[in-house]
Structure 1
Amino acid sequence: MGIVVIGAVFMDLKGYSTSPYIPSGRNAGIIVQNHGGVSRNVAEDIANVELKPTFVSLVDDNSMGEDIIRKLDRHKVNTKYIRRLPDGMGTWLAVFDHEGDVVASVSKRPDLAPIGDILDQQGDEIFKDADSIAVEIDIDKEIIKKIFYYAEKYQKDVYALVSNMTIAVERRDFLRKTSCFVCNQQEAGILFSEDYESKTPQEMAEILADRIKSARISRMVVTMGEYGAVYADSEGNYGSVPALKVDVVDTTGAGDAFFAGVCMGLTYGKTMEEACKIGTRLSSTVITTSENICPRFMPEEFGLKPVQD
């Protein structure tokens, strides 16, 4: 079954300013449309390392939804548990400045309740042979409850990332059940009610090692943009991994690719440092084009075990 990824699909509409962005003015540029969504991105990134994930999600019941499923199929994602529904997908509208950073965005989230129905009907089939589970911890609470029910039933590790940290903060009991939680520096500050903006990677790693003990989170990774990422576990181990130097076009999807790398690494026996290095390599490949596409790799390039058909 590979890694089971659960979450939403979005269509991303992205406008890029080709000159210095003027917030109150008209900005000349280009507009592109891509398949998106944190969980969809993660599933595709895992598939691009030939590890054949299973994706549990929803798409629109139209040609656009079918196009998304066909693309995932081509990437060798198991799409058996994707349900077609009216308004099954969300939409993300974003504007980027000439340096590739988001300066404005609006998001329309889909109703994910039908995913709960999929889990009710086919949960045992989905989770029994899973290698691990990857999920956005801030999706519908009832869905998260069902995921952890099956994770505990079949003793599967759950790896979590977040889209909305204000929601995740209210779910500390779920975070304590995860095998690893991944977020960025700002989100970590929200979680622990502190300001980490000026911290160096070394300082951040030491702080993280202390904070996860009191929070009772077993393992956690915090990304720090151009400064790389830091990690810590509840046994007192911690460290940092530097970012790779690349020419940035669009940072969208970098965090998703990083999480996919960490999830793959930990699922298939790598250390925290090794998993973060895999995530760093993957994230560096998706920010060099406006399509945010992770190139194809073989699992052996990362020392990972291929998933058999």
Structure 2
Amino acid sequence: MGIVVIGDVFIDIKGFSTSPYIPYGRNAGTIAQIHGGVGRNVAEDIANVELEPTFVSSVDDDAMGEDVIRKLDRHKVNTKYMKKVKNGMGTWLAVFDHEGDVVASISKRPDHKPIEQILDEHGDEIFKDADSIVIEIDIDREIVKKTFHYAEKYKKKVYAIVSNMTIAIERRDFIRRTECFVCNQQEAGILFSEDYEEMSAEELSKVLSERIQSAKIPKMVVTMGGEGAVYADQNGESGVYPALKVDVVDTTGAGDAFFSGVCIGLTYGKTLREACAIGTRLASTVICTSENICPRFMPEEFGITR
């Protein structure tokens, strides 16, 4: 079954400004529409390193939904447990400045009832042979509850990622039951009710080690963009893994790719630092502009085998 991913599919509508962005003015640029969603991104990222994940999700019952499934099938994602329903996908509308950073966005979440129905109907067969489980921790609480039920029933490790931290902070009880929780610098501040925006990676590393001890979170990784990633676990291991220098054109999906690499590494026996190295490399293949600068990630580089 490989790594089982539970999460959303979104259609991303992106506007890219070709000159310095003016918040209240008109901005010339380009517009693109692509398949997105945290869960979908993670499933595709894992498949891109030839690990054939299983994706539990839903799509719209139209041509666009069918197109999402066809693309995932081409990447060798197992789409057996995806439903085609009305309002099965979300929409994300985003504006990017000329440096590739998001300056404004609006999102519409999909209906999550179909995912809950999939777990009710097929939970045992989905989870019993999984290598590990990935879930968007801010998805509907009943879905999270059912996922952890099956994970504990079959003794599977759960890795959590977040798309909406204001919802995720209400799931602290589940975050404590994960093998590893990954979020960005701002989200970590929300989780611990502190401001980390001005902290260096080294400073945050010390703070994170203390915070996860008191919060009883087994492992946690915080991404910091160009400063790299900070990691810590309950055994006292902590540190900073530096970012790779690449030419950035679009940062969308880089966090999902980093998370995917961390999940891959930990699932298949790597240390937390080694997993961050895999995540960093995989993220670089998403945000850079040239295959020559960022050649395709191959799992053999890090000794990853199923």
Which range, TM-score by smaller chain? over 0.9
Q: State how far apart, in whole Å, the 1-side matches of 2:302 and 2:61 are.
A: 37
Q: Does 1:139 align with 2:139?
A: yes
Q: Give the RMSD, CA atoms, in angstroms.
A: 1.3
Q: Distance in 1 between matches of 2:21 and 2:106?
A: 18
The whole-number CA distance in structure 1 between the counterparts of 2:247 and 2:289 is: 9
Question: 1:297, CA displacement in angstroms?
Answer: 3.9
Q: Percent identity?
A: 76
Maintained 8 Å contact 2:247/2:289: no
CA distance in 1 between counterparts of 2:103 and 2:192 reads 26
Tell me which amino acid in the other structure corresponds to 1:8.
D
1:285 offset after TM fit, Å? 1.3
TM-superposed CA distance for 1:196, in Å, is: 0.9
CA contact (8 A) 1:51 1:299 kept: no
Unaligned ranges ≥5, structure 1: none
Amino acid at match of 2:207: I
Partner of 1:78: 78
Partner-residue secondary structure (3-state), 1:99: coil
SS in 2 for 1:95: strand
Alpha-carbon distance in structure 1 between the residues aligned to 2:241 and 2:266: 15
**Counterpart in the other structure of 1:50:** 50
The runs of 5 or more residues in structure 2 that have no matched partner are: none
Bigger relative contact order (CA 8 A; separation at least 6): 1
TM-superposed deviation, 1:200: 1.5
Q: TM-score, normalised by structure 1?
A: 0.96
Per the alignment, in what secondary structure is the counterpart of residue 239 of structure 1? Answer: strand
For residues 279-294 of structure 1, the aligned pairs below 5 Å read: 279-289=279-289
1: CA distance, partners of 2:297 / 2:201 = 29
Structure 1 counterpart of 2:217: 217
CA deviation after TM superposition for structure 1 residue 170, in Å: 1.1
Give the deviation of 1:86 after TM superposition.
1.3
1:50–1:297 CA contact under 8 A, matched in 2: no
Confirm or deny: 8 A CA contact 1:59 1:88 kept in the other structure: yes
CA contact (8 A) 1:48 1:295 kept: no
Q: Is the 2:285–2:297 Cα contact (8 Å) retained in structure 1?
A: no
CA distance in 2, matches of 1:216, 1:11: 36
Distance 2:299 2:96 in 1: 33
Amino acid at match of 1:233: D
Query: Which residue in 2 is equivalent to 1:242?
Result: 242
| CA shift digits 1:143-190 (9 cap, x unpaired) | 000000000000000000111111111111001100000000111111
Q: What CA distance in whole angstroms lies between the structure 2 residues aligned with 1:242 and 1:113?
A: 40
- Structure 1: which 4+ aligned runs deviate by more than 3 Å? 294-298
Tell me, in whole angstroms, the C-alpha distance in 1 between the residues paired with 2:226 and 2:259.
16
Cα displacement (A) at 1:26: 1.0
| 2:260–2:279 contact (8 Å) kept in structure 1 | yes
The structural deviation recorded for 1:23 is 1.0
Cα deviation digits, residues 70-122 of structure 1 (max 9, x gap): 11011010000000001110000001111111111110110111101100100
Q: How many residues align?
A: 303
TM-score, normalised relative to structure 2: 0.97
Match in the other structure for 1:122: 122
